[in-house]
Chains A and B, each alone.
Chain A
Amino acid sequence: MTTFTGNNFGDTPVVAAQPDNYLTHGKTIGSWLFTLDHKRIGIMYLVTALLAFFIGGMLAEVIRTQLLVPQGLIFHGTGSVASSYAAYRYYNQVFTLHGIIMVFLVLIPIVPGALGNFAMPLMLGAKDVAFPKLNLISYYLYLVGAILAIVSTVLGAVDTGWTFYTPFSIQTESYVVVMVLGIFLVGFSSIFTGINFMVTIHKLRPPGMSWFRMPLFLWAIYSTSLIQVAATPVVGITFVLLMMERVMGIGIFNPALGGNPVLFQEFFWFYSHPAVYIMILPAMGIVSEIIPTFSRKHIFGYEFIALSSLAIALIGFLVWGHHIFVNGQSAELDAVFSFLTFIVAVPSAIKVWNWLATMYKGAIVLKTPMLYVLSFIVLFTIGGLTGVVLGALSEDVVLHDTYFVVGHFHYVMMGGTLIGFIAGMHYWWPKMFGRMYNETIAQWTCVVLFIGINLTFFPQLVVGAEGMPRRYASYLPVYQPYMIASTIGAYIQLVAFLTMAGYLMHSLFYGKKAPANPWGSGSLEWETASPPPHNNFETTPSVGDPYDYSDLVFDPAVNGYVHIEKPADSLAPVTATH
């Protein structure tokens, strides 16, 4: 038997109720601001990113309200072309900020930063991530980056679109340098988080947890980190070049100085396509945890799901050209990138089939996290398939820069990443805060959100296919019915999100106390109290198969799942002797 050694803090006798947990461990503000505890850092990410999500969401409502009428409801001119131009510039700023906030401050950091930080060391049975100080530095880089984004907005909001295409981003009279510097810092936060998590998974796995006995969320986090480490430096140097362009006139991307503006697009997408997998992979990891738990059935095709994450991470580096099919790329390259884009959809599909197979003949429990996962599967499938439509070269020539693209990436980013995150947040909420939310309201909210998302983005696919270009403040009257539907959808989403904020806040104060294992999950984070103590585990947990639910039964006395006598088989878990 292997021994899980070196636990300096595990000698404390087990106490039935732990009054001290990581939330109450220190009460001063400083104990939060300078904490090295991965759980607290996770909570700080959560709060910051949700705040950013609120701001980005309000901007989205502004966009949708503008598009209620063809000439624009909020920003429109007074008849002359010049006045329209002036007014529409505000619209450009609004959608630019919306995109930047949502991509760089919400979707990229939220799952690794908040849920990854909180759950990953617990799932490993470890006390912390490998480099706790670096972890805190990552958070502050993210925070300072976010503050710089706000500063640039106050000084003169960027109007380039979240893609910062040159040469316009060199010429525009807005504070591109400050914004780009902010994103540069957020990028380094992302790199450091990636390094930290990869090392943690390599070096802090407990004895007995081989690579193929890790929970799938960890595989997802690992693959994500790989992309973060390998792709983010490239966008870092790209943004440095863009800053140099504006500050010094270095000329690399400036056609007037002999530079090549399309080179910027190549660099940008070399990062930003892999970045879409930075966003989606951790969400897929969450789904892989929730589905077996709520199907009460072992995950189907563990190796396929695990390795498809790696496959996505690697192939994702080879498809960036599908964003520049029509921007001056040679026909031969176009064809190659189109082909590779088809290939990258395969591992995603493998995951979906394995999830479905896991649910097949399972005893499905439709609790909130599972409902969100089901809506993830539907929405992500629509998003992924529209992606394949766009990846087909001949179709993209028509659909590029139309609302179809907007519909596509919102289905994957909102329907995929964000819904996946929300599923994870509901799944780990009891663990994070030790409280249960109101299940009924939460389930209704999920349904309303599902309707809202489809109502918002499906019409966008339709108008896009009919030729409505993206990023315009006004449109032809024929599109108005679709635009109205889309806006109503956005309002419905707003209602759902506000409700969610309400019941989650409510649960913090009035929610029922959460048991250690409310859903009957098999991974290690559920072996400790909810919320966990400062040192994560009072007694060292024993490593077993994370998807084996045979010994977990519901105990009404604690209102959660407990282990019964384990059947002695060859997969007998490693027992702790400390």
Chain B
Amino acid sequence: MSEAIAINPTDEQVARAHLAHHFDTPQQQFDAGTLGMWMFLATEMLLFSGLFCAYAVFRATHPEVFKYAGQYLDPVSGLINALILLTSGLTMALAVRFAQTGKRVALSLCLALTMLGGVGFLAIHAKEYFDNGQAKLLWGTHYAPSVGPNGKPVAPITGLAALVAKPKPVASSGWHALKSLGKAGFVVSHSAIMPASIGPAGVAPAQKPAAVANAFQPANVQIFFGIYFLMTGLHSLHVIIGIIVIGWLLIRSLRGEFGPGYNAPVVYVGMYWGVVDMVWMFLFPLLYLIH
């Protein structure tokens, strides 16, 4: 990235003015910042990797759940969001370019467009969350849809599956629990783990995907939605943070702070936004395109 920075005398002065006392040259400072940013982004990926692992484990042990629940999600909105993020990735990359070449108007425009992309992404996603909430396609005990992914009413489940699919609440949930931070509503008496002979699906062998394709729902579909909300929620949080930071860049760019001599923040945020985009390119097929 650095080779593109042409340093003319005034830029040199700008660069010197931003040089911290413990660095020798602006280049050294910039390289240090870039390396630090890459490492930080690596930790971000690792943060997500925990969730990807959980995804892999449950998908391997409960394939029928993923097949069934994946049909509830709308691939079209996922795809639109992917395209939006790709475009905003492009505008962000252009922003970095314009910051380095000192095109201030173009820089501000690109930053604004990137923000717009982020907001659009969130809007579509919020709509999806809202619909999920309406249909009660939620995690844990909140999962209670009345129709299956094919639009037909969900058939009542009997026998073993019923026992597993309609779990007794052990943890209180929602804001109520947040307020009391865990005090209220816990069954402390004895372990809530079911006897091994009946066994929760998590530790017992997975159910046979017998009645997958239609209105019969497999047990433990709520797990999919737990993972879905965690993954997309964490990602959306990153998008929100990105929008805020890009907004801050926009203000600074309107003040004319960036140019060939000083553009490190734009470069670093550009790297961050690239990673946020990339995570969605993984999430989209994993969650929306399960076949």
B226 contact from A173, A234, A252, Cβ within 8 A: A252
Residues of chain A with a CB closer than 8 A to B227's CB? 252
Say if the beta carbon of A334 comes within 8 Å of chain B: no
B255 at the A/B interface (Cβ < 8 Å)? no
* Closest B residue to A194 using CB positions: B39
Interface residues on A, range: 35 or more
Contact of B46 among A7, A167, A234 (CB under 8 A): A234
Q: Is the CB of B223 within 8 A of A256?
A: no
Which chain A positions have C-beta within 8 A of B40?
195
A392 to B31 Cα, complex, angstroms: 46
Residues of A near B20 (CB, < 8 A) are 132
- Asked if B182 and A249 make an inter-chain contact with CB atoms under 8 angstroms apart, the answer reads no
Instruction: Give the interface size class of chain B.
Output: 35 or more
Compute how far the CA of A561 lies from the CA of B62 in the bound complex, rounded to whole angstroms.
Answer: 68
Indicate if B229 sits at the interface (CB-CB under 8 A): yes
**Complex: A249 Cα to B173 Cα, angstroms:** 5
- Which positions 498-544 of chain A face chain B at CB distance < 8 Å? none
Find residues 121-179 in chain A having any chain B CB closer than 8 Å to their own CB: 121, 126-132, 134, 155-156, 167-168, 170-178
B194 & A229 in contact (Cβ 8 Å cutoff): no
Given known A259-B202, A261-B202, contact A171–B171 (CB-CB < 8 A): yes
Q: Does A358 contact B (CB under 8 A)?
A: no
Q: How far is the CA of A502 from the CA of B134 in the complex (A)?
A: 66
Query: For the complex, is B124 an interface residue (Cβ under 8 Å from A)?
Result: no
Stretch at the interface among B7-15, B151-159, B162-170: B162-170
Contact A6 B24 (CB under 8 A): yes
Give the interface segment out of B48-56, B81-89, B280-288: B48-56
From residue 84 to 103 of chain A, which have CB atoms closer than 8 A to chain B?
none
- Would A249 and B141 count as touching, CB distance under 8 A? yes
Give the interface centre of A8, A177, A199, A251 by most chain B CB atoms within 10 Å: A251
Give the residues in chain A near B106, CB-CB below 8 Å.
none
B35 contacts the other chain (CB 8 A) = yes
Contact at A195–B36, with CB atoms within 8 Å? yes
* Stretch in A239-247, A280-288, A344-352 touching the partner: A239-247
Complex contacts, B21 vs chain A, CB 8 Å: 8-9, 127-128
CB within 8 Å for A259 and B173 given contacts A199-B32, A238-B50, A250-B140: no
Bound CA span A355–B20, Å? 39
Select which of A191, A257, A261, A267 is within 8 A of B43 by beta carbon.
A191
Task: Establish whether residues A167 and B192, one from each chain, have CB atoms under 8 Å apart when the complex forms.
Answer: yes
CB proximity of B28 to chain A, nearest CB, Å:
6
Residues of B near any A CB (own CB < 8 A):
20-25, 28, 31-32, 35-36, 39-40, 42-44, 46-51, 53-54, 57-58, 61-62, 139-142, 164, 167-174, 177-178, 181-183, 186-188, 191-194, 200-203, 219-220, 222-223, 226-227, 229-230
Q: Which residues of A contact B (CB under 8 A)?
A: 5-9, 121, 126-132, 134, 155-156, 167-168, 170-178, 191, 194-196, 198-200, 202-204, 229-230, 232-234, 236-238, 241, 244-252, 254-263, 267, 328
A-B contact pairs, 12 of them (CB 8 A): A198-B39, A203-B32, A233-B46, A234-B47, A236-B50, A241-B230, A248-B140, A249-B139, A249-B141, A250-B230, A258-B219, A259-B202
